């Protein structure tokens, strides 16, 4: 029994020392990630509320960039910019124009380090900026510079000590209004975005 207790103490001590060494080995670093985005628009209902008839929004492609600082083994702070090109908008099947969005946020990233595989979760806050190319007959307004939140999850896979493959999904949510000609308004230019790209550590 005494031998078992001594062995258990040695094992626990060894594991604790290993964890301590792993923590000591971590060094803070900066990083950038650049990649492509693919959206799944979820604001069809916003068009319906604004125009009083069924609305649809097409999915689109875009680009994203992250610049951050990993100050702890499990935590990083970053700024993120995402541009989405030409959400095609239709009401009752009629094309009323297309909208580009730009979303800028400051994010907190929580990381689970498993060697080369590092799953993460993030939450961010910032603003959405819009520009609209309207059909010549369409008369409506789209809010700009509205407070926006992001929630996301993903995986960084380190191909080399300084380069990673990054895959993630993020939800963009806000209360930005689209106001139709009658003055009715729909709230929320929301979408789900899938991101993939490459990260660089420095």
Per residue in 118-149, pLDDT (tens digit) is 999 999 999 999 999 999 989 899 999 999 99
Residue 181 clears pLDDT 90, i.e. is over it: no
Q: What is the DSSP letter of 58?
A: -
Kind and range of the H or E element at 24?
helix 2-25
Give domain status of residue 21, yes or no. no
Give domain status of residue 17, yes or no. no
Give domain status of residue 190, yes or no. yes
Give domain status of residue 155, yes or no. yes
Report the pLDDT value the prediction gives residue 24, as an integer from 0 to 100.
56
Q: Which residues contact 187 (CB under 8 A, 6 or more apart)?
A: 46, 49, 175, 176, 177
Q: What is the pTM of this model?
A: 0.85
Domain count, the chain: 1
Report the pLDDT value the prediction gives residue 19, as an integer from 0 to 100.
41
Q: Give the tens place of pLDDT for each residue, 19-28.
A: 444 455 899 9
| Domain, as residue range, for 160 | 31-201
**Cα(175)–Cα(128) distance, integer angstroms:** 10
Residue 163 clears pLDDT 80, i.e. is over it: yes
**Cα 105 vs. chain centroid, distance in angstroms?**
9
- Burial (CB count within 10 angstroms: exposed 0-12, middle 13-18, buried 19+), residue 42: middle
Span of 18-32, 41-55, 118-132, 163-177 with lowest mean pLDDT: 18-32
Report the pLDDT value the prediction gives residue 10, as an integer from 0 to 100.
41
Instruction: List, in sequence order, every residue forming a beta bridge with 141; answer none if it has no partner.
Output: 179
**Cα(12)–Cα(177) distance, integer angstroms:** 58
- Percent of the chain scoring above 90 in pLDDT: 82
Q: How many CB atoms lie within 10 A of CB 118?
A: 18
Report the pLDDT value the prediction gives residue 188, as an integer from 0 to 100.
96
Give domain status of residue 24, yes or no. no
**The domain spanning residue 75 has which CATH number?**
2.40.160.20
Closest CA to 111 of 79, 80, 73: 73
Give domain status of residue 20, yes or no. no
Give domain status of residue 153, yes or no. yes
Give domain status of residue 40, yes or no. yes
């Amino acid at each position: 029994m005494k031998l078992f207790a001594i062995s258990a103490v040695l094992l626990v001590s060894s594991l604790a020392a290993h964890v301590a060494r792993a923590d000591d080995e971590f060094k803070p670093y900066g990083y950038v990630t650049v990649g492509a985005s693919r959206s799944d628009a979820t604001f069809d209902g916003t068009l319906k509320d604004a125009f009083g008839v069924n609305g649809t929004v097409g999915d689109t492609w875009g680009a994203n960039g992250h610049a951050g600082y990993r100050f702890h083994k499990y935590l990083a702070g970053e700024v993120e910019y995402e541009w989405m090109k030409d959400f095609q908008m239709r009401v009752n099947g009629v094309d009323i124009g297309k909208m580009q969005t730009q979303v800028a946020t400051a994010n907190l990233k929580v990381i689970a380090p498993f060697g080369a595989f590092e799953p993460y979760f993030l939450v961010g806050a910032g603003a959405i900026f819009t520009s609209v190319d309207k059909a010549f007959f369409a008369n409506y307004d789209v809010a700009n510079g509205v407070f926006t939140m992001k929630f996301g999850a993903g995986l960084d896979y380190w191909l080399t000590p300084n380069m990673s493959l990054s895959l993630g999904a993020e939800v963009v949510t806000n209360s930005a209004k689209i106001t139709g000609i009658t003055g009715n308004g729909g709230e929320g230019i929301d979408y789900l975005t899938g991101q993939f790209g490459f990260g660089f550590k420095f």
